[in-house]
Structure 1
Amino acid sequence: MTDKGDQSAFRRGVVALLPELRAFARFLTRDRTRADDLVQEAVVRAFASRDQFSAETNLKAWSFTILRNLFYEQARRCKREQEILSEYKEQPLPSAASEGKHDDVTDLNKLLWELPDDQREALMLVGAQELSYEEAAVICGVSAGTIKSRVSRARSFLVSLRDRSEG
């Protein structure tokens, strides 16, 4: 990508994706500061690798893949991936829940962290980020069928947890 117009379009495309990248980073890290740092580093990598990007490639999937890979790369480098995930699962709920208020968002967040990591990630990409199964598959490095299966299992699991808590 050497054409100045292509570079400008690339820049505009990445900038337009920043809110979605930040939302995905916040989902992965569960920490605003770490999410902002992750997005910043992912954008730096995207710009450094823009020559590897072709116009036929889906910029959103490509950018999300960079962000996701960077997150897991950092986790491996620290050798604490499992500790980090379990730490997040054990964090106390927000104060509104501790005051006895029923908060559907908090309940959903709690239920999401009961899902296996791969199902939670697939559901977040397809459900919350509104990516296609194909885009999510590219990001996760699996087939679209695997993403469909993970999303289906995640939804079924959440429904069963909800039904159990209501029953």
Structure 2
Amino acid sequence: MADTFQNQIVSFLPALKAFAVMLTRNRVSADDLVNDTVLRALRKHHLYADGTNLKAWLFTIMRNIHINNLRAGQRRRLVEVSDDLLPNLASVAPGQEDVLVLKELFRAFDGLSENQREVLMLVVGQDLSYEETAQICGCPIGTVRSRLARGRRELGRMLDGEVPLPAANDRAVPARAPRPRITSDMRAAS
């Protein structure tokens, strides 16, 4: 049984690596995150319920480790999108235009909120269902749907030129500033 479990984990390594790169924006940090995820999954194998979605379980572990690392005060290292982060373009005719289009897409993707990027990566990039994504993100399915719809709409607006793309060095800044929460004290004052 353990061999089968380990083989299943190995089969998900490419998907784990892609999700880790999306979360960390750094190949070295992504490798560390994948390693931490696999180690924790192997140590906690007894907590995995056979017959459930192993990929979603692994993604949940990875997301939780990443959040814990951020909370622990580890600095999030951000890097420029470099050619080594671009997908393999061997099947595409060579040309600088393809690279520029992909870099523009990555800049637009970085302009989305972290929640929108995460949901887009899981639903579109990893082909997970809304239910699986909701489980990984720890939110209701309706929240997944709204984040996905808003993320797609915002991405389209940036790529169509309706909204400016974030500057290359503004990767950590969300596309929009968060709205201030209106408290009961504010309502009473107005």
Q: TM-score range by the shorter chain?
A: 0.7 to 0.9
Query: Superposition pairs for residues 11-160 of structure 1, below 5 Å?
Result: 11-78=6-73, 80=75, 84=76, 88=78, 92=80, 94=82, 102=97, 103-160=100-157
**Matched residue type, 1:50:** H
**Structure 2 length-normalised TM:** 0.73
Inter-partner Cα distance in structure 1 for 2:12 and 2:81: 30
- Flag the 1:63–1:93 CA change in 2: closer, same or farther, 3 A: closer
Higher helix proportion (structure 1 or 2)? 1
- Flag the 1:64–1:56 CA change in 2: closer, same or farther, 3 A: same
Inter-partner Cα distance in structure 2 for 1:30 and 1:10: 28
Task: Give CA deviations for 1:94-118 in whole Å, capped at 9, x if unaligned.
Answer: 48xxxxx541111110001111111
Task: Give CA deviations for 1:104-142 in whole Å, capped at 9, x if unaligned.
Answer: 111110001111111111011111111111111111001
**Matched residue type, 1:70:** I
**Matched residue type, 2:18:** A
Inter-partner Cα distance in structure 2 for 1:148 and 1:158: 15
**Matched residue type, 1:56:** G
Gaps of 5+ in 2: 84-95, 164-190
Shift of 1:165: 5.4
- Structure 1 stretches of 4+ with a deviation exceeding 4 A read 91-95
**Structure 1 length-normalised TM:** 0.82
Inter-partner Cα distance in structure 2 for 1:135 and 1:150: 15
Report the 3-state secondary structure (helix = DSSP H, G, I; strand = E; otherwise coil) of the residue aligned with 1:164: coil
- Flag the 1:94–1:62 CA change in 2: closer, same or farther, 3 A: closer
Inter-partner Cα distance in structure 2 for 1:73 and 1:59: 21
Gaps of 5+ in 1: 1-5, 96-100
**Matched residue type, 1:53:** Y
- What RMSD over aligned residues (CA atoms) do the two structures have, in Å? 1.9
Aligned residues: 149
Identity of aligned residues (%): 40
Shift of 1:152: 0.6
Larger Rg: 2
Inter-partner Cα distance in structure 1 for 2:130 and 2:41: 22
